[in-house]
Structure 1
Amino acid sequence: MINAQYPGSKRRHWFIFPLLLTMLLLVSACGNNTSRGGNANTKNAAAAPAASEQPEQTVEPAAFTTVTTINGEIKIPVDPKRIVAEEYLGSLIALDTIPVGAPGLTLKNIYFKEALAGVADTGAYGKMSPEKILELEPDLIISGMADSYETLSQIAPTIIVPYGDLKNAHEELTYFGELLGKEQEAKAWLAQYDQRIAEAKAKVNAAIPADATFSILEHNDKKVWAYGDNFGRGGQPVYQALGRKPPAEVEAEIMEKQWAEISAEVLHKYAGDYLIVTDNNQTVQDYKNDPIWGSLPAVKNNHIYVWKEERSWYYDPIAVLSQTEELAAWLTE
């Protein structure tokens, strides 16, 4: 709000006593009228410039813009300074925007956790603590959890972008570049991203046949899941960045819904020529020794890559870029 008060000046006319007397009488009359005039005149008087010997002090108004979201039109700051981000931290960091708070799981992202030193832990992913968020006094909250909107929006303007709505790094960076007024930064980052992805893809294409199929799997406590191209575990790097294809069964049954649990008895139907497996407990040698896994052509040919969830679960643009280069190095070693 702009303070429209300006310093006045005091002029002393000691030699014009009659004029001074006349002015005093006029001021007195005006004062009486103001007293009788009630609230309307009081408001007008308060709005008028006041004499002061202090220098002018102005407070610039906070600039806001309106964005359309799944929850309707939301008014947010044009240049937010205190963002709490439950989701999409990779895109924010790529745009040189560091939040003041984020869930503990996201703060552990090995691909950029150094950039988040000093960022407050807001609690569990999907169940951030309103009390902790309140303490941070955010001016914007970003989340992927639609059911959190009612609670979070009572604290600060809240943008909900459900998981999966943004399909790839380009969509994600472009969206947040526009949201935060950093379109040029987004374009510059994506240009470097595209260059590095193209280099990784060229290396893989030179080493791996174009018709080779890839499966994205997770193995945990005797359960197996297969994944599509937008649910972490390496799907984005393999299917999107490197442009590789899944087996027919994965294409038909998994890609649209993005994930499904499969039984060990039918594992061979979903296993491609190359396997990218998330497993916190077993090694490649363990898979070779397993009677079911060891019978798969990919395992026999040493075309299995095992990594832990701390490397495979994340799917932000920074993680996808690093994962793509990591997998490209393995495929071409």
Structure 2
Amino acid sequence: MLRQNRKFIAPLFLLLLLLLTACGENEKTTSSTTEQDTKEAETKTVQTTNGEIVIPTNPQRIVAEEYIASLLVLDVKPVGAPGLALENYYLKDGLKDVEEIGDYGKPSIEKVISLKPDLIITGNGENYDALSKIAPTVVIPYGELKNAHEELTYFGELLDKEQEAKDWLAQYDQKIADAKALVDAIIPEDASFSIIEDAGKSYYAYGDNFGRGGQPVYQSLGRKPPAKVADEIMEKQWVEISKEVLADYTGDYIILTADGRTVEDFKNDPIWGSLPAVKNDHLYVWPEERSWYYDPTAVLAQVEELTKWLTTKK
């Protein structure tokens, strides 16, 4: 009887052993698949000007040569940025503990390496080969993103923060609409606006995507440059002008970048003082530290600043 039972027990034991082995292998396979899925979920492939690249879905250490304001809006703080960005009048308080990586367009490769970035963002493709050896590098050529909507939408998608971008843009649009309504109620629709910079020995007129106030005036507030030069300015975006032709490029209102000079200085200048905008007290002078930047945060602040001035005009 015992011998018969052994005949049944041996096959049952072997079957049980096979089942346990199969379960163990299945657990290993499942675990391996899960790890692989998790690893794939931690990265994603994005299309860039340099082709498809794989980036982290949730980068923790970003070095950014440009577009720093958009990152901050999305609650993403870089670990490194150029000195020029760290001096941004509108952002510098929020970037105090961000490391400087050198000059814009010429970052210190050694410094970037020391920061151990997991993603690099730049508007300058010249350093792509060197930077891409350090970490995945996304190049967005200078001027390709033309306004706050394009910029925030792009980075919202890149960093999986689409909703945050939409929420911020909704508030941005409302503030811009409110400011535009205030200006439109006071300034005639056909009044022309000029964006000028005093560079010392020469002057420059600017379009709607080159700083100095072009974005808030031409894009946000919907104003127009003098008709005679509008096409030239908007196509070239910046034009060097002499005092002899200054009157052709100045409209009913002038937003002027000039360091170390005041409205009174220009009123006392024989050529500037003869311009209708200056005579009518329609000249706004501000320093380059406030006018140069045209990221979303800067543009919103500039709109509010210029609106305050314009709504005091008669």
Residue 268 in structure 1 maps to residue 237 in structure 2 = no
For residues 143 and 87 of structure 2, the distance between their equivalents in structure 1, rounded to whole angstroms, comes to 21
Unaligned runs of 5+ in 1: 1-18, 20-47, 50-57
Q: Aligned partners of 1:290 and 1:262: how far apart in 2?
A: 17
Q: Distance in 1 between matches of 2:241 and 2:252?
A: 18
Higher radius of gyration, 1 or 2: 1
User: Are positions 1:96 and 2:75 aligned together?
Assistant: yes
- Aligned residue for 2:39, secondary structure, equals coil
Cα distance between partner residues in 2 of 1:280 and 1:86: 25
Q: Deviations over 1:192-223 (max 9, x none)?
A: 00011011101100110000000001002121
Which among 204, 221, 233 is matched to residue 254 of structure 1? 233
Candidates 57, 71, 78, aligned match of 2:50: 71
Matched, 1:177 2:151: no
Q: Equivalent residues in 2 for 1:70-219 (5 A)?
A: 70-219=49-198
Aligned residue type for 2:65? E
Q: CA deviation at 1:249?
A: 3.1
Inter-partner Cα distance in structure 1 for 2:177 and 2:61: 35
TM-score by length of 1: 0.81
SS at match of 2:234: coil
| Cα shift readout 1:92-151 (whole Å, capped 9, x = no counterpart) | 011000000000110111212111121000111111111110000000010001212112
Percent identity between the two aligned chains: 66
The aligned counterpart of 2:280 is: 301
Partner of 1:261: helix, strand, or coil? strand
The equivalent of 1:277 in structure 2 is 256
Find the residue that maps to 1:275 and give its secondary structure: strand
| Aligned position for 2:206 | 227
- Name the amino acid aligned to 2:296: P
Q: Secondary structure at the match of 2:196?
A: strand
Instruction: Quote the Cα distance in structure 1 between the aligned partners of 2:197 and 2:131.
Output: 33
Deviation at 1:61, TM superposition (A): 3.1
Letter in 2 for 1:279: A
2:302 alignment counterpart: 323
CA distance in 1: counterparts of 2:284 and 2:105, whole angstroms: 30
Q: How does the TM-score come out when normalised to structure 2?
A: 0.86
Q: Residue 54 of structure 1 aligns with which residue?
A: none
Aligned partner of residue 65 in structure 1, secondary structure: strand
Quick one: distance in 1 between partners of 2:129 and 2:202? 36
Does residue 288 of structure 1 match 2:267? Answer: yes
- CA-to-partner distance for each residue in 1:148-172, whole Å, 9 max, x for gaps? 2112111111111111111110000
Q: Distance in 1 between matches of 2:277 and 2:131?
A: 47
Q: CA deviation at 1:291?
A: 0.8
Give the Cα separation in 1 of the matches to 2:127 and 2:213.
28
**1:38 is matched with which residue?**
none
Q: What displacement does 1:250 show? A: 3.0
What is the count of residue pairs matched by the alignment? Answer: 279
What is the alpha-carbon root mean square deviation over aligned residues? 1.5
Hey, what's the Cα distance between the residues in 1 that align with 2:188 and 2:278? 17
CA distance in 2, matches of 1:309, 1:303: 19
